[in-house]
Amino acid sequence: MIYVAVGALSFLILHILDIVSLKRIPGAKPFTWILGSGLLVYALMMACLQSDKLPLPMWTTWLGWALLSISLPVLIYSLFINLPFRKTYVAIGVGDKLITTGLYALVRHPWIHCSVLLLLSLILVSKSSLLLIASPIWILLNILLVVIQDTFIFSRMFAGYDQYRKETPMLLPNRKSISACIRTIKTRA
């Protein structure tokens, strides 16, 4: 269960990144991002490697690999390509503009969906009973922290966030946001 706590701590640290960005503390942004990401990867790996395995049929492993091959690249795209990497994770302060295109036209926090799919795929691939316990805890904590970000932090970080909040759904896409996402992706291509 220590790995469940380490994973929870990693989400807290990763969400502190926004506060560090607002406070403009030199060097704190990359340190916070590396520490939070490192702890999360460590917790995920250790949870996957636990010896207590679920008795799942072999086809679920193949399904897990298929989901992993989709969820991981989309997660990487949503966090590190659709958002400008340097401004988001390295440079002092907040980014100079609000990203409302690509997956961020679909929902305000698209990486939540990807992380849920990633955790599901890792459960199926690793058959880890500990990861089956940890995943709902991590998902709920992550959603809670995103609600706090969305309500209290992002409107202070980005000009126009209140309007973006009115136009783009938080987590569940609608017909309008799906069209906007497709339109912005086609425009970039």
pLDDT of residue 92 exceeding 90, the answer is: no
Instruction: Phi first, then psi: give them for residue 52, nearest 5 degrees.
Output: -75, 105
Q: How many domains does the chain have?
A: 1
One DSSP character per residue, 37-99 reads HHHHHHHHHHHHH-S-B----HHHHHHHHHHHHHHHHHHHIIIIITTTHIIIIISSS--SS--
The reported pTM is 0.90
Average pLDDT, the chain: 93
List pLDDT tens digits, range 138-172. Answer: 999 999 999 999 999 999 888 899 999 999 999 99
pLDDT at 91: 86
CA dist 186 and 189 (Å) reads 5
> CATH code at 111?
1.20.120.1630
Range of the domain at 110: 2-188
Tokens 């636990």 belong to which residue? 50
pLDDT cut 70: percent of the chain above it: 98
- State whether the Cα torsion 118-122-123-128 is positive or negative: negative
DSSP category for residue 170: S
